[in-house]
Structure 1
Amino acid sequence: MRPRLVVTTAPDTVTPTEAAVVHGWGTRVTGDEFNYTGAPDATKWIVYNSAGHAGNGVRSPEQVTVDGSKMVMTGTPDGTTAGMGAKFANQKYGRWEVRAAGSGDNEYHMVSIMWPDSENWPCDGEVDYAETTGDWNLITFFHHYGCSNSQTSASRALDVTQFHNYAVDWSPNGIVGYVDGVKWFEDNNSAHQPPGSMHQTLQLDWFPDSTANGAGEMRVDWVRVYAAAGTA
């Protein structure tokens, strides 16, 4: 049996390197501070119970919990891991920011994603605005677009085992990514725009290789959503 949700009253944390602070995004409109214990809030999240990414391993609700200050996903050496999608801010355009860290076996990739509400992938796009790809000292932004699953991307060296703030600003002008308030990705090609509304997902995906398998972990302090530029 999953533990019941218990809400605490700890104050929300604010760091000066948030894109929302640096760029003055205003008051957040929704999100999850993970200031409770137990399973992820069922009014805010759909926790996956399915095959893993590309059929590798499985996603189990038992592998994700909230400890009173953060959400923790754990992946086992056999590929039993977790993922979940937000029920909030299913919309076209807006600003999303997460504070996250990860660690463990390089076969585990932590990913913060904007996923199409239509589930029509790849045609309706995918915005992976913080993804590890087998190296916990490198972070990558992947913007997938079109039915051919074309991509634009950017990577930078970063100690992902430490908490950092990852953000995406999606507007009619394009898609901009930030790490700790600093812009590091931009795609303003109108032909690359996602055609419809999207929502936040958090995933610890398993990419088995020829090396020995190990455990992995993804930790998320909070998820925050802000109004799109010009609409606040």
Structure 2
Amino acid sequence: MHRQLIASCVAAMFLSGCSSPPAQPAANGADQGSDPVAVTPVADSAAAMLHWGAPIAGDEFNYTGEPDALKWSVYDSSGHAGNGVRSPGQVTVDGSQMVITGTPDGISAGMSAKFGRQKYGRWEVRAAGSGDDAYHMVAILWPDSGNWPCDGEVDYMETTGNWGLINFFHHYGCSNSKTSVSKTLDLTQFHNYAVDWTPDAIVGYVDGVKWFEDRDPAHQPPGSMHQTLQLDWFPDNVTADGPGELRVDWVRVYPAEGSPRL
């Protein structure tokens, strides 16, 4: 549900995103030049409860205007499966949050991170959403290669038309097979969504509590991945659609388990 820029977006119209060009990961799996990032701890985050240490990359959204161009590639393309439009004008940072707004006619936004590209590691976002059921909020790990579906996709926060239910979808293999889990949750309130990817497993957390685990080695993504954030439009062509909104307080990336950076 996330795409490579322009050419890949055309070729992969039935996916749901658009990615920035791949970057070569460092030898230790983290971006070159990554340093610990000073952040405000959140008690019910996976990072705090599981002692992940300081993040090595991310965005606290403590500025105003457009998303930081050094950190994000903002989509300018058609929407998921050709529905609606992804417009840079629909995403802004208000000094404490990143906000994506979707209009009733499907003008929305999405963006992919230039930071935290690594094979194995930990990612966490604090997010909330609201609005029409046609809008789905999504936090994805997308392959740096852009080779979808063969190189996998980890949707560790995704709605599917119900603002009271959160889903984790792990896509794997060229057949786009998947494992998944769902959980009742009030998504209009902020929650902390995390994924821990090791050579042994992909594990998901909500507010520091484990709710997803896939330990099948055949399901492992083959290469490095990066964060994306999207508000995707799924019109039903039956009922009138309304606006939607995705709000993200922060995005934080941590090194893999056992890294000397921990």
- Superposed CA offset, 1:9-58 (max 9, x none): xx944321000000000111110000000000000000000010111101
Q: 1:117 aligns with which of 144, 152, 155?
A: 144
Give matches, 1:185-204, under 5 Å: 185-204=212-231
- Superposed CA offset, 1:142-199 (max 9, x none): 0000011000000000000000000000010110000000000000100000001110
Query: Counterpart in 1 of 2:239?
Result: 211
The question of 1:50 aligning with 2:77 is answered yes
Give matches, 1:136-155, under 5 Å: 136-155=163-182
Q: 1:85 aligns with which of 109, 112, 137?
A: 112
Amino acid in structure 2 at the alignment position of 1:96:
W
- Distance in structure 2 (CA, Å) of the matches to 1:220 and 1:12: 15
Give matches, 1:126-141, under 5 Å: 126-141=153-168
- Superposed CA offset, 1:56-108 (max 9, x none): 10100000000000000000000000000000011100000000000000000
Structure 2, unaligned runs of 5 or more: 1-37
Query: Counterpart in 2 of 1:8?
Result: none
Query: Counterpart in 2 of 1:221?
Result: 249
Q: 2:126 aligns with which of 95, 99, 107?
A: 99
Aligned residues: 222
- Distance in structure 1 (CA, Å) of the matches to 2:101 and 2:85: 12
After TM superposition, what 4+ stretches of structure 1 lie above 3 angstroms from structure 2?
none
SS of equivalent residue, structure 1 residue 54: helix
- Superposed CA offset, 1:175-229 (max 9, x none): 0000000000000100000001110000000000021110000000000011100
Give matches, 1:153-168, under 5 Å: 153-168=180-195
SS of equivalent residue, structure 2 residue 170: strand
Query: Counterpart in 2 of 1:34?
Result: 61
Question: Equivalent pairs: percent with the same residue?
Answer: 75
SS of equivalent residue, structure 1 residue 90: coil
Structure 1, unaligned runs of 5 or more: 1-10
- Distance in structure 2 (CA, Å) of the matches to 1:14 and 1:89: 19
- Distance in structure 1 (CA, Å) of the matches to 2:66 and 2:159: 25
Alignment RMSD (CA, Å): 0.8
SS of equivalent residue, structure 1 residue 114: strand
Amino acid in structure 2 at the alignment position of 1:22:
M
Amino acid in structure 1 at the alignment position of 2:202:
I
SS of equivalent residue, structure 1 residue 161: coil
SS of equivalent residue, structure 1 residue 185: strand
TM-score by length of 1: 0.94
